[in-house]
Each structure stands twice: as structure tokens, then as C-alpha cells.
Structure 1
Amino acid sequence: MLFKVFRKCSRPRDCGDLYASGQREDGIYSVFPIHHPAGFQVYCDMTTDGGGWTVIQRREDGSVNFFRGWESYREGFGKITGEHWLGLKQIHALSIQGNYELRIDLEDFENSTAYAQYGTFGVGLFSVDPDDDGYPLTVGDYSGNAGDSLLKHNGMKFTTKDRDNDHSENNCASFYHGAWWYRNCHTSNLNGQYLRGQHTSYADGIEWSSWTGWQYSLKFSEMKIRPTRDPENK
């Protein structure tokens, strides 16, 4: 499958800017957030629910190891056209530019799909030094048909296997083989192991508990953000 790389719109801040400039094709684009002037490449979803989405995470085939340390999650890893994590640094740079919303698309191994959408989203919104502060999550205003499995994580710092910021006696990332804004520990674990459906271990796969419980690892997840729109213009 071929993926196009687009360069139209000189210094777009995100995929929302590109959509506003007339771009309508899904693909790889360069964006230049206000506080990250060097820019970086992202995958833009220009078709789902009105388009303009900047993809920040995708799981689809288990080809990329997501059980990684802090530096990898800060800088990002994987392939933009496939499985990847954009990077906490990049997600922060995007989300501090204004008001953003988050959409999470999910699919199980029976090809059923669901989504969760949050009208409020940000990472390190109130941090002077977001890395030192742990890139805390701000999320709110749920809608969708997957059920809410993220609001419990609101306000939590990000935890990896080598940096424990959760409220558990154990390191939740190590225990559940992932990395996330764990509390004590989770209701979602989208960076967990790629376990292909029902599994006997507990809550260590790609989990969205309100939809498929704690012992079913999803086939596909995609997290994406865009500037909040006026409801009449969605």
C-alpha cells in the first residue's frame, strides 16, 4: 500500500490547519506547532467524522514493541503509516496550542468497531517543565459507543516501566506490560501487549474495559486529536 506525503500549506500547526486549507486526503504531512518550530511528520485522518485529526497512536498488527521506557515514549517510536506512538513531547506541543478534542477508534477481532470521544484533551497543559512533571493527562466530556475508560486517568502522570508515576504500590507499567497515565492501575491500557483477542492473563493487553473487559486484547486502536470545533461546523 502506498502512502502519500503532502507539503501544501506552508507551516500548518496541526492536521486541523491542513484540513482548513483544503486538504482532504489521509496521509503523512509535516506540522509545525507553535512551541515546536522545527516541526515533525504526522499522519492526518482527513475523513473520519469531519476530518482534521492528527494521529498520536495506532495499534494494528503487533509489529512494534510498545513495552518501552520513558525516553522512547517521550520522543516517539514506530512507523507513522503503521503502528506508532507520536511522542509525549510532540503530543504536548500540539495540545498546548489551544482547545483540543480526542477521538479513540477501536476494533476487535470479530471486526466490531466502537469509538470514544472526549471534548477536552491535553498533555502537560499546566506544566512549566512537562517532562519533569510527567506529562499529566487532561481529559473530559465523554461521548461515543465504546463506553468511557479514560476519565479515571484524568490528572495522572504518564508511567513507563522505568519511571513510576502512578498511585499503586507496584509499577503499573511493568505489571500490565504497557505505558499509560495509570492511576491504581487502569480502566484502559491501549499501549499494552498485542495479545489477539481473549487471553487468560489479566488486563495486560490492548484493553478498553468498558467495551470488552479486562481479558480481551483489541485488534486495532487509534488515538487522534484535533482543535475543538464549533458544533455547527463539525
Structure 2
Amino acid sequence: MRTEDWFTAGFWVFALAGLIHPYLSMYASLEALKRAGTTVASTLAATAPFFSTLGAVVLLGEDLTIVVALATVGIVAGVMVLTFDGRRMARVIRVALIFASIAAVIRGSTHVIGKWGLELLPNPFMATFVAFSMGLICMTIFFRLRHGHLPRNVPTDGVKYFFYSGLCIAFAIISMYGALMLGRVVVISPIIASYPVFTLLSVWALSAERISRRLVLGVLMVTAGVVVIALVGGVG
């Protein structure tokens, strides 16, 4: 990180991005998980690319081709196939307009704001550092105000796994900002949204669960969408 990058216009945009994600999006996601469960929250979170694509077209002036739009719909639909449980439809209706939908909108806006910041300050490492530093500060203050104290008696084993998870997330976020710096939001955001495929495949591989038709269908839909965007997304 260069000295001249501090407190520039891009710096403050990244600070805004950190306020939105991870702070606000994580809070909304956790509330959605607590109130509706993993299935409902994950299904609604899959709609985030719609909001990021809309923001990129309206605010950043990016072009959206019919092929990329259809591929985005395919990816979102594929993720929903993987995560949706029809038996919980009533819970989806109750929560759709609350925390889970808020989380999807917020996460969708993160890519647009990140792209804006990178146009002002093309430094993905600075973007990651500022955004997550802001998120850490906000989360710490919120926890202190809500509980009256900072976390106590944190299990050592839990901290160890959180550390490993944090390393993976840090690498992922740096990669995300690097991709946004080089590409367009309408191309990058749908590809990032395909991550549940790898989550489910990892769970299947580790727990030796059988491969269901829904899993195969969802993976094929998401993979097809990503391949199409990768092949034609750079055009236009």
C-alpha cells in the first residue's frame, strides 16, 4: 500500500464499501439465518447478482448483453435449485421482504461500490484492507453496544478455525477486487455468485453424501451460466 493512497477519494469509497459489506450485509445475513434458517437465507441471497447488475448498468453505465443477462438468470436459478426447499415456502414469504432480501440488495451493491472505488484508486489490496478494517471497527462497536462487553471466553479451537477461514476470505476478497478492477460488474458478479456450488460439492465430498438429481441439475445450471459468461462476457 502506497502512502499517497491514504485518505484519497477512493479510500473513502472503500470505507463506505466496508460499512456495507461485511458489516451491514453480515448482520442482515445472520438475522435472516436466525429467523428463517439456512435454506431460506441462502435462496434469497442468490438473487444478489440481479441487484449488482442493475446497479452496474444504471450507475456505472456498463453494457449488458442478452446472452450475459440470460446466463446470470441461469446462475441465480441454479443456486436456487441447490438451496431451495419447497416445504419452507411459508417462511420464505415471511422473510423475503425483511433481512434476507436486505442482505441480497446490500451484497449486490457492494460490487458496484467496489468498482467505483477501484476506478478512483486501482489498488485491490488497499480496497480489501480499508473495507474490512471498517467492517471490523463497526462490528466491534455494535457488539459492545448490544451486549455491553466485548467477546469473552472465546474457545481456542473456534478461534483457530476462524483464523483459517479468515485467510480464505481475505484471499477471496482480494481476488474479487482484482477481478472488479480488470473486468465489468455485469460479468464478475454472477461468476462470484456461483460459490454455493463449491460449498455443496465440498460438503458432499467430505461427508460422502449421495448425489441427488437436484444437486446435479443445480451444478449443471450454474456451470453452464459461468461458462457462457466467461466465453462472451468480455465482449461489448
TM-score after normalising by structure 1: 0.26
Query: Which structure is higher in RCO with an 8 Å CA cutoff and minimum separation 6?
Result: 2
- Tell me which protein shows more strand as a share of its residues: 1
Higher helix share: 2
